[in-house]
Amino acid sequence: MRRPASLRSRIVTATGLMLLVIGAATLYTGFATAELARILGLLFKGNLLMEEVRGGLAEASTALTGYLTTKSSDYLRTYIQESSRLASSAGRLNREVRNDEALLLQRSLGRLIDRYLADAEAAVQAKRGRNVAAYTKAFEGSERDADLARGLVERLESMNLSASLAAYAGLDERVGAVILTNAALVVAAVLTAFMIFVRWSYSVTGPLLALAEAAKGIAMGDYSREIPRMAASEEIATTAEAFENMRASVRRAFEELRSKAEVERRLIEEELRLVDLDRRLKDAELLALQSQINPHFLFNTLAAGLQLSLSEGADRTADFLEKLAGFIRYSLRPVSRSVSVGDEIECVERYVWLLRLRFGPRYRFDVQAEEAVLGQGTPALILQPLVENAVAHGLRDRESGGRVRVSARLEGPPGESATVLEVSDNGQGMGAAEIAQVFAECGLPPDGRAGAEGPATAGTPPSTLDPPGGIGLHNVIRRVSLATMGRGRVEIVSEAGGGTLVRVVLPAGGTAA
């Protein structure tokens, strides 16, 4: 099967043919015009030369007569100039013996002008030498030569005029033929170029229109329409073949996407079912954990101990039991419930009271909260695990001078403010690698925000930083991310031996549930 020509070769061939036809017409017009100009130049060249000889002869004779009459230097200077021009014009006359009357007359005219110039020069020299007889004789000879030269000029001009008229008649006929031939060539070039262009455009646009119709159908979603094979140029045929391959690939991709979407839908349903089962399992585990200690029995026992302490006058023991009962009651709340910052601060103060009772002057605790932030909402049990972590890990090696500071405040302009909860200590601190590990185990980037991987699930492995039996730093980070849908964050600022600052930033505006 013959391979179709490429689009480039078609363009080059069509353009070359059009340029060839137009170039032939242009070249013919140029050559014909040059020939006509040459003939016209030959016709007028002889007449121009005779006109120059006539004018030079007249000017030279007038200047010679004036000088011989007046001996004026101006006439002499004019004579010298005009005689030089006359000699130059005479030099262009034919000086050879030819079998042509006009050329023979030019030869005779040239000899007469040479003789005239010689007599005139002799007359000028004799005038300068004051030889009257000599310059008179020479002047008369020059006048005879001038009269004879004028007669030859008139005869040559008459002959040139006759030849010019005869040549003009033939030239007029040739000009008409040149115009007709040139017009025919131009029309032929235009028609040929138009036919070549039309044929080439149809051979190119026909397959392109068929390809456009097929593409329009595909754009409307009809991927079942196959694109016919085209015997067009190599580029268009290749484009059509590639388009057909693309259509088939898109159709297969859509079918695969449908099947994958169905599989993914089933997987999502299964994951949702597993998540629901996991949630129920964790609720059951929490209930089982809470049921291990009967709250009513615990509260009744603590209340009985409180009454016994009061009856025995043990006020310090009574305060201890009251603080412990309140702390346990608060800690048994569901961790998913939102509380006020004021409740969190009150829980921390109870816990700090118990820590002071336990450690005495070994550690110093400072709890501060702005009045404006107390009504803001926060996930439950955020601050107490951080304080517990600071004491259990940050200050565990300090026998004295340990300090834990808890603060709560609002930051930012009204309407865009954020609740900031901070717990800091002057303990042993954490290295950058430990901080990065904490966030990595929570499935979060180092800034504490939920990233592409999303917040960590409950299955995240526990950290060695978590105190035994406590909720721990990891769960605080995860619950902040979950409770705020990724808008809140936990920041850890620390260095080895330089203490630790844990900052919890929550979007303000929410209230306790």
Check residue 115 and give its pLDDT: 86
Burial (0-12, 13-18, 19+ Cβ within 10 Å), 369: buried
Instruction: Give the H or E element holding residue 161.
Output: helix 132-219
- Per-residue model confidence as pLDDT tens digits over 57-100: 888 888 888 888 887 888 888 888 888 888 888 888 877 877 77
Please provide the DSSP assignment of 285-314 as one string: HHHHHHHHS-HHHHHHHHHHHHHHHHHTT-
Q: Please, which residues bridge with residue 119 across strands?
A: none
pLDDT of residue 235 exceeding 90? no
- Cα dist. 412→132, 395, 415, 424, 480 in Å? 129, 32, 8, 21, 20
- Radius of gyration in angstroms for the set of CA atoms belonging to the chain, rounded to a whole number: 60
Check residue 454 and give its pLDDT: 38
Check residue 365 and give its pLDDT: 94
Check residue 236 and give its pLDDT: 67
pLDDT of residue 267 exceeding 70? yes
- Per-residue model confidence as pLDDT tens digits over 205-221: 777 777 777 777 777 76
Check residue 147 and give its pLDDT: 86
Going by the DSSP 8-state scheme, the letter that residue 227 receives in this structure is: P
Strands of 489-494's sheet in order across: 363-369, 402-411, 418-425, 500-507, 489-494
Distance CA(406)–CA(368), nearest Å, equals 6
pTM of the model: 0.42
pLDDT of residue 249 exceeding 60? yes
Region of 448 (left: φ > 0; alpha: ψ -120 to 50; beta: rest) is: left
Q: Average of pLDDT values for 218-247?
A: 67
Q: Average of pLDDT values for 369-396?
A: 90
Q: Average of pLDDT values for 436-449?
A: 75
Q: Please, which residues bridge with residue 403 across strands?
A: 364
pLDDT of residue 387 exceeding 90? yes
- SS3 of residue 72 by DSSP: coil
Neighbour tally for 343: CB within 10 Å: 17
* Residue 16: closest CA among 166, 145, 192: 192
- Per-residue model confidence as pLDDT tens digits over 3-61: 555 656 667 776 777 777 777 777 777 776 776 666 666 666 667 888 888 888 888 88
pLDDT of residue 153 exceeding 80? yes
In percent, the amount of the chain with pLDDT more than 90 equals 12
Check residue 292 and give its pLDDT: 43
Q: What are phi and psi of 461, to 5 degrees?
A: -60, 145
Distance CA(337)–CA(325), nearest Å, equals 20
